[in-house]
Structure 1
Amino acid sequence: MVMIVALMVALYLTILNVRHPLIGMEVVENNNGDVIVNDIYEFGWAKKHGIHLHDQVLKVDGKPPLSHFTVRKYKTIEQVKTITIQREKQIQTLTVDDRSHGAKQWLYYIALPLGFFLFTVSLSMFLLRLRLNDQSATVLIYFLLLAGLCYISASLSAKYVPFGRYMFNAIFLQLPAVFLHFVYHYFEREKKGWFTKKIVLSLYSFNFVAFVISLSHLLSEAEVLLATFLINIGTILALLGKGWVYLKKDEQQHTVKGLLLSIGLSAAPFVLFYSLPVLIIGKWVLPAELTVISLFVLPSVFLYLICTDRLFRLPFSINRFVYHAFLSLLPAFFVTLLYAKFVNEARRFAELALLFLLIYGINILALYSKGYFDRTLRAKLYVQKDCYQESIYRIGETLKKQKNMREVIQCLEKEVREVLDIENLAFVQAIRSMQAPFHCDEKEWTKLTKKMDRQPLSIGKLIENKRLFAVFVGSFRQSPLLLIGKKKHPIPFRSEQKDWLSTIVYYGSVTMENMVKVEDLIKELNHVKQRRNSVWLTRLIFQWSEKERRKLAIDLHDTILQDLIVLKRKVESLRFQNMRMEEMKKQLNYIEEEIVDMIDVTREICYELRPPFLSQIGLEEAIVQLIQRFQLRANIKIEWNVHLSAKLEEERELAIYRMIQELLNNAMKHSQASYIQLTLEVQNEEVQLHYVDNGIGIDMEKLNHCDGKLGLFGIKERVQGLGGTFKMTSQLGKGLDIRIAIPL
């Protein structure tokens, strides 16, 4: 719906833009009451039609100039049909119509704003299709659409069209706040926010006040707009800079960097060459029409961040035509712009549009041709060095996903075949009197094997003999592995090819060596598991499992089962009783309330079995909720301080949650404590948990022989399994003190 409204508004604004050419003529009233031309704008109709400074304006639309609202209110002439000018006693009446724009006006006031809007709409539709229910994506869509409408309405604002002017002022002032709103929502969704929503709301409020001031004309409208915009941009850059520091060593820092670049590059020309000069010296260095072209950077950077998975991580792919078409836009536009500016300014807009389309098509064709020749001449190009670097990165990423040595070998073979001009390729076990793995010249093979025998082999070592080559991959379980290949031509590898081949073979060797070690370790663990000294572990797991089952059975028996039996009897009694409808409803309401209570009890039991939404609400909030539920069940006062400044792995989060859950359950069932103090925080690259109660305590000497303390023993095993430390001190009658430290 919002998209449709934006399209309709953009269409209406564009129609107004076409109907009202920019006159571009400022006037002043002299002492005699005459209206004199005071300034002529470079892109305006007046300059194109030869109106000069100091010409006298006799009539506007057949009436005295001061009767026209733009002359009276803004000291400029816009939105007129005819202008009568007197110059040196010569009077002429000029007609303004929708064909009076000129090439520059068509370009800067209609084509560029409309093109920018279509760009933002396309990106918005793309986001809407893939991120329909994401609030941060929704705010970004609003921002993009508003930016497009702002660009179009700016043209009408320059022409003093009331609707366009008010719309531009409102959007121009609030647009930075909408951008900051998006930043807030996105990083809050990622649980990495560094500023509060109050800042966003404050910026909205400040900009609204500025908008009201601009309407009241208490101050110069232009100065209010520009000053407010500068304050907004400064605030955004400061907050993004803070975020860049806050997210240091975090992958989201790249996203913040991209957002910084998008705002900086898109706003810098307008700020440096228009806004600041107007506010300081009262005149711009470059006209706004030129400086706002940098707005195209904004959606372009967003598109780049999305395509590189630094924003939203959307599942999509771009086909080659769309990619080439997008890359061709900017060069075609700038070539056309330079031609119109320096070669032939008199060209009409239609001719410039045709020139743009011609250059655009040539660019797309050139990119297609480049891709074709790159693939065809891959092995002959010296620029292939860049492809080798890309291949090394690609093979590194691919090797991480392989599960066994066979997959690694297939991966290496595929990469070598794709990058090098290879006829045959094989991985073979190196043995004496080794036969060639494929058909080749026997003399070449014999010479190659002799070279291998004479030279000491190291991982990645390349040996060549005419068309044949061999690379030592490594020795796995005392079995040397070689990569043997046959080139299509007897040309030695270039230095960059040798380096590339040695590098990827080394990567593959390290990967396979690690796989062998992991396989051996798993075998050793299985062997240890079968030994007798692992009986204690089996008993522990069995006891732990039985304890949890027994606890669940007791909970179900003492709560839900008993309540169900009572409800069954009540329902049976209702069946045989003859009672009035009101009494029947009363009994049914009572039964309904008990069913609701049973649902709550069931949910509580399920929550203890597996805490839901732990990954959604976060460990800190989950622990707070656990403590609050515990206080409802137990008459124990708890003081807690839970503060986690770092994001933990899911395994660690669940383990810490279970530890605290077990400690609280132990306190309620065994400790007879009336007070518990619980602290959870991150210090010195560790998660530190400190539990203290004033209960009956534990006899530490008898702890190892006490089955009732299996829960505490289980906590200790959890901690040690995570590489942490567990320290427990207690005496009978003096409570319990447990300190746990788990590395991040």
Structure 2
Amino acid sequence: MIKWTYSIFIAYLVLGIYVLAVTIKVPFIGILVDASSGQLVIADLYYPDWAHQHNLEKGDVLLTFDGKPAQENSSIQYYSVARSAKELTFIKPSGVVHTITIQHQDIPEELFLQIIFPIFYFLLSLGVSFYLWKNNRKDKKTKLLTLFLLTCSLAYISTGASARGDLIGMLVIGIGIILCLVLLIHFLQLYFRYLHIEWRYLDTKWLYVLPLAVLCCYVYALFNRGLRELTAFIILGLFVGLVLYAIYILLTSYLRTKLAKIRLIAIAFITPFLPFLLFFVIPEILGHEPILHAEFAALFLLFIPFSFIFIQVNERLFDIEYQLSRFRYYSTLAFFSAVILTSSIALIFLKDISLVTMTSIFILIFLVIIASFYIKEQLDFKYRKIIFSSTGNYVHNLYAAVNRMGKAKNQQELLNLFKYEITEKLGTTAFLITTETEVVPFVRGEIIEKMGTIQLLLHDAGEEKVVLKIRHSLQKEELLWLELLSLYVSMFIDNLKLIEDLVQEIQQIQDANDTQLPWLDKLLWNIIEKEKSILAQELHDTILQEQLHLARELDVLAGTSIIKKEKVLDIREQLLNATKDLREYCENLSPPLLDTFGLQMALKKLIQKVKIRADFLLNAHIERVQFQDVTLHLVVYRLVQELLNNAIKHAEATEVSLKLQAIQHGFILYYDDNGIGCNIEDLMQSSASMGINGIRERVRAFNGEINIASNHNEGMHIYIQIQEDGDSYD
């Protein structure tokens, strides 16, 4: 598979370099001629500004191309178009003969649209594709995205070679624009399966017939040049059909699921392809003059958003929806600013500036403004404490206030902390928190102002209501801060009420029975003592023994007359190793990566550690799982941790397989080893059952299913499935 992937990259490089070399070798001029009179009379000019600078006009007669008679040019013979040349000789109606030398820099439109932009896109696509493949080698969805990006890039950079009549360039662009769409639809089919969305459309494997059909058309056109125009018409027709089909898939899927990720993919696809379709392809098919020439319309392909890529590479390190929303906001501001600035420049230099130069200036200004927004954002974040005063930084203050109030143990303490925050933040003591029994004319979280008094309902328990009243004028930012903080206070009160009701219910059960609650006491005691026993055993067998050994070595060292430096350094190294082991125990008790980077990254780190210290070959496949109940992330981590620890201590296996599979509203965990196995009933009676029982208890606590199969010398096979309660999705 790796050799196959390298072959794809090498083929991309070879084809890309070839078509770019063809484009760079000879400038494109695109002169349409009329040979009906026996002479090659210029009928139309593709670059009128360049032609005007060199006194080349309609009605002039072409004589030679690069020193050869113009009639011998194959492109003129078959298509009546002079595609490219380095030197051109023509005669004016007056009889004056002119010879001009053509360079790329003489035609800025051709230089930018066929050379500079394609080279940039070629290198960018190669770099991003290689990065994707390197970090996601086993993900088929990512491989399809990589192929889509490379194919789309090849199709774009081949426009110059195709315009010059190069056969390979025409093959690449003809097959590429069809294949890239088929690859995209194939990616959608796999991505829908990943999201557990039903695929109600044609199986993508049948669409791969279309690029093969295009190839057959080109092969047939080699023997009949007259079919080349028909082949181009067929390719454009297939392109229109595939684009509309992909849009249909995305729109109907989004309307059916309302998923934000589907909406993002739809935007990412429609943005670059639809303008190319509307401005060039459809007018060309209908036989009309395109609104934009091919290279201008293809510019939209440069803006293929990499949100496709972000969906795959993000490991919960950032929020893709937030990133794209921010980019859309910055792009909107930058677009209108760039339009105003470019229009001003165009008005000042109206006669001295071409369309391509204006486009280049617009793109440059657009990118500079976007970059400035991002730089400003980073500077604001870094120097926020200097720019904003402590009283004006409402977001930071809100976070700090919620953090402080979250430590309250009862409702009264919570309200006291709330009063403190209002006094400190709003700078007033003219407020009152009351408990009322009458009906209030507003709902929880709603702020109303009546007769100079601001009122806000903090909590509604039916028979009593907690109301905040402030006799102080507040600014808009202060009202927003107060509203958000009040919502937090309301939720805190609800949670405290639930806890108090639970404690009261337990107390009533205890009072009614006039006894203690042995089941509760026993359960808590067993859980605490069991965890303490496991931790004590682990520390006793590892770090404590190491410390005693080091103490004995220090005693021996103290009894010698000469203390060797090497010996002291060796003891120091052993102490550092013991400290490292202790740190690992602390990380196992509370894995820091879990909260910071998410479950998948934490499991990868755990598996890496196990592979280092284990004697068996560990084959792990971890899918990304998402839960409404965040505690399930810790449950999955603990289950994997217990299974692997059990394999290290008891399995005596040479191979262990672990697979975490995402299902709708839950997960399935498979564990297999080829170890010594055991009799399940005997295992439950032995001390080695501590880990297995712990796994069972965790699964049953979350209403999960667990199956354990094992026999002597037949390894162990464990199946675990847990699904969240339906209430989590109401």
TM class, shorter-chain normalised?
0.5 to 0.7
Q: 1:272 — aligned with what? A: 278
Task: Decide whether the 8 Å contact of 1:203 with 1:232 is kept in 2.
Answer: no
Q: 1:103 — aligned with what? A: 108
Q: Decide whether aligned partners of structure 1 residues 323 and 397 sit closer, same or farther in structure 2, where only a CA change above 3 A counts.
A: farther
Correspondence for 1:615 among 661, 666, 671: 661
Q: Decide whether aligned partners of structure 1 residues 201 and 474 sit closer, same or farther in structure 2, where only a CA change above 3 A counts.
A: closer
Q: Decide whether aligned partners of structure 1 residues 158 and 255 sit closer, same or farther in structure 2, where only a CA change above 3 A counts.
A: same
Alignment of 1:86-101 (within 5 A): 86-101=91-106
Task: Decide whether the 8 Å contact of 2:455 with 2:467 is kept in 1.
Answer: no
Alignment of 1:1-40 (within 5 A): 1=6, 6=12, 9-30=15-36, 32-40=37-45
Runs of 5+ in structure 1 lacking a partner?
414-424, 431-435, 486-490, 541-601, 624-649, 663-717, 725-741
Q: Which amino acid aligns with 2:488?
A: G
Alignment of 1:62-461 (within 5 A): 62-121=67-126, 123-124=128-129, 127-128=132-133, 130-195=135-200, 199-217=203-221, 218=227, 220-248=230-258, 253-299=259-305, 302=308, 306=310, 314-316=316-318, 343-344=349-350, 346-347=352-353, 361=368, 364-365=371-372, 405=408, 427-428=419-420, 448=430
Q: 1:515 — aligned with what? A: 495
Distance in 2 (alpha carbons) for counterparts of 1:533 and 1:453: 35
Task: Decide whether the 8 Å contact of 1:207 with 1:228 is kept in 2.
Answer: no
Q: 2:554 — aligned with what? A: none
Q: Decide whether aligned partners of structure 1 residues 315 and 7 sit closer, same or farther in structure 2, where only a CA change above 3 A counts.
A: farther
Q: Decide whether aligned partners of structure 1 residues 258 and 722 sit closer, same or farther in structure 2, where only a CA change above 3 A counts.
A: closer
Q: Which amino acid aligns with 2:159?
A: A
Give the stretch that moved more between structures: 256-265 or 39-48: 39-48
Deviation string for 1:325-384 (max 9, x for gaps)? Answer: 989986787678757876446448899968976785576557756887896777999xx9
Q: Decide whether aligned partners of structure 1 residues 722 and 527 sit closer, same or farther in structure 2, where only a CA change above 3 A counts.
A: farther
Q: 1:729 — aligned with what? A: none
- Count residues in correspondence: 533
Distance in 2 (alpha carbons) for counterparts of 1:497 and 1:621: 43
Q: Decide whether aligned partners of structure 1 residues 38 and 126 sit closer, same or farther in structure 2, where only a CA change above 3 A counts.
A: same
Q: Decide whether aligned partners of structure 1 residues 99 and 290 sit closer, same or farther in structure 2, where only a CA change above 3 A counts.
A: closer
Distance in 2 (alpha carbons) for counterparts of 1:5 and 1:89: 52
Q: SS of the counterpart of 1:78?
A: strand
Give the stretch that moved more between structures: 11-20 or 236-245: 11-20
Give the stretch that moved more between structures: 512-521 or 352-361: 352-361
Distance in 2 (alpha carbons) for counterparts of 1:74 and 1:116: 30
Give the stretch that moved more between structures: 135-144 or 98-107: 98-107
C-alpha RMSD of the superposition: 6.2
Shift of 1:408: 12
Task: Decide whether the 8 Å contact of 1:277 with 1:283 is kept in 2.
Answer: yes
Task: Decide whether the 8 Å contact of 1:412 with 1:504 is kept in 2.
Answer: no
Shift of 1:516: 0.5
Q: Which amino acid aligns with 1:221?
A: T
Correspondence for 1:493 among 447, 471, 474: 474
Task: Decide whether the 8 Å contact of 2:342 with 2:361 is kept in 1.
Answer: no
Q: Which amino acid aligns with 1:497?
A: E
Alignment of 1:648-659 (within 5 A): none
Shift of 1:215: 4.1
Shift of 1:84: 2.2
Shift of 1:89: 4.7
Q: Which amino acid aligns with 1:26?
A: L
Task: Decide whether the 8 Å contact of 1:336 with 1:352 is kept in 2.
Answer: no
Distance in 1 (alpha carbons) for counterparts of 2:179 and 2:125: 17
Distance in 2 (alpha carbons) for counterparts of 1:52 and 1:538: 100
Q: SS of the counterpart of 2:267?
A: helix
- What TM-score do you get using the length of structure 2 for normalisation? 0.56
Q: Decide whether aligned partners of structure 1 residues 76 and 514 sit closer, same or farther in structure 2, where only a CA change above 3 A counts.
A: same
Distance in 2 (alpha carbons) for counterparts of 1:239 and 1:509: 45
Q: Decide whether aligned partners of structure 1 residues 402 and 182 sit closer, same or farther in structure 2, where only a CA change above 3 A counts.
A: farther
Q: Decide whether aligned partners of structure 1 residues 327 and 247 sit closer, same or farther in structure 2, where only a CA change above 3 A counts.
A: closer
Distance in 2 (alpha carbons) for counterparts of 1:76 and 1:125: 39
Distance in 2 (alpha carbons) for counterparts of 1:407 and 1:66: 96
Shift of 1:269: 2.1
Q: 1:581 — aligned with what? A: none
Q: Decide whether aligned partners of structure 1 residues 439 and 370 sit closer, same or farther in structure 2, where only a CA change above 3 A counts.
A: closer
Task: Decide whether the 8 Å contact of 1:40 with 1:46 is kept in 2.
Answer: yes
Distance in 2 (alpha carbons) for counterparts of 1:94 and 1:226: 38
Task: Decide whether the 8 Å contact of 1:266 with 1:296 is kept in 2.
Answer: yes
Shift of 1:313: 5.1
Q: Decide whether aligned partners of structure 1 residues 33 and 370 sit closer, same or farther in structure 2, where only a CA change above 3 A counts.
A: same
Q: Decide whether aligned partners of structure 1 residues 169 and 479 sit closer, same or farther in structure 2, where only a CA change above 3 A counts.
A: closer
Deviation string for 1:472-513 (max 9, x for gaps)? Answer: 96699x99898999xxxxx9422x235413421331122211
Deviation string for 1:629-670 (max 9, x for gaps)? Answer: xxxxxxxxxxxxxxxxxxxxx989995866xx89xxxxxxxx
Indicate the percent of aligned positions where both proteins have the same amino acid: 16
Shift of 1:182: 1.7
Shift of 1:312: 5.1
Q: Decide whether aligned partners of structure 1 residues 615 and 401 sit closer, same or farther in structure 2, where only a CA change above 3 A counts.
A: farther
Shift of 1:57: 1.9
Task: Decide whether the 8 Å contact of 1:429 with 1:481 is kept in 2.
Answer: no
Q: 1:54 — aligned with what? A: 59
Distance in 2 (alpha carbons) for counterparts of 1:24 and 1:241: 40
Distance in 2 (alpha carbons) for counterparts of 1:619 and 1:59: 73
Shift of 1:261: 2.3
Distance in 1 (alpha carbons) for counterparts of 2:93 and 2:410: 90
Distance in 2 (alpha carbons) for counterparts of 1:285 and 1:7: 32
Runs of 5+ in structure 2 lacking a partner?
1-5, 222-226, 524-645, 652-656, 670-697, 709-721
Deviation string for 1:60-89 (max 9, x for gaps)? Answer: 233232322222333211232322222215
Q: SS of the counterpart of 1:275?
A: helix
Deviation string for 1:523-582 (max 9, x for gaps)? Answer: 356558866798899999xxxxxxxxxxxxxxxxxxxxxxxxxxxxxxxxxxxxxxxxxx
Shift of 1:450: 8.8
Shift of 1:174: 1.0
Task: Decide whether the 8 Å contact of 2:433 with 2:469 is kept in 1.
Answer: no
Deviation string for 1:126-165 (max 9, x for gaps)? Answer: 5446544322122112212222222211122122233322
Q: SS of the counterpart of 2:103?
A: coil
Distance in 2 (alpha carbons) for counterparts of 1:132 and 1:411: 51
Q: Decide whether aligned partners of structure 1 residues 723 and 24 sit closer, same or farther in structure 2, where only a CA change above 3 A counts.
A: closer
Q: SS of the counterpart of 1:39?
A: strand
Task: Decide whether the 8 Å contact of 1:116 with 1:296 is kept in 2.
Answer: yes
Distance in 2 (alpha carbons) for counterparts of 1:438 and 1:64: 86
Shift of 1:107: 2.7
Shift of 1:192: 2.3
Q: Decide whether aligned partners of structure 1 residues 179 and 148 sit closer, same or farther in structure 2, where only a CA change above 3 A counts.
A: same
Q: SS of the counterpart of 2:193?
A: helix
Q: SS of the counterpart of 1:283?
A: coil
Distance in 1 (alpha carbons) for counterparts of 2:17 and 2:350: 31
Q: Which amino acid aligns with 2:192?
A: F
Shift of 1:51: 2.5
Q: 1:559 — aligned with what? A: none
Task: Decide whether the 8 Å contact of 1:28 with 1:36 is kept in 2.
Answer: yes
Q: SS of the counterpart of 2:28?
A: coil
Distance in 2 (alpha carbons) for counterparts of 1:270 and 1:439: 55
Distance in 2 (alpha carbons) for counterparts of 1:203 and 1:107: 34
Q: Which amino acid aligns with 2:272?
A: S
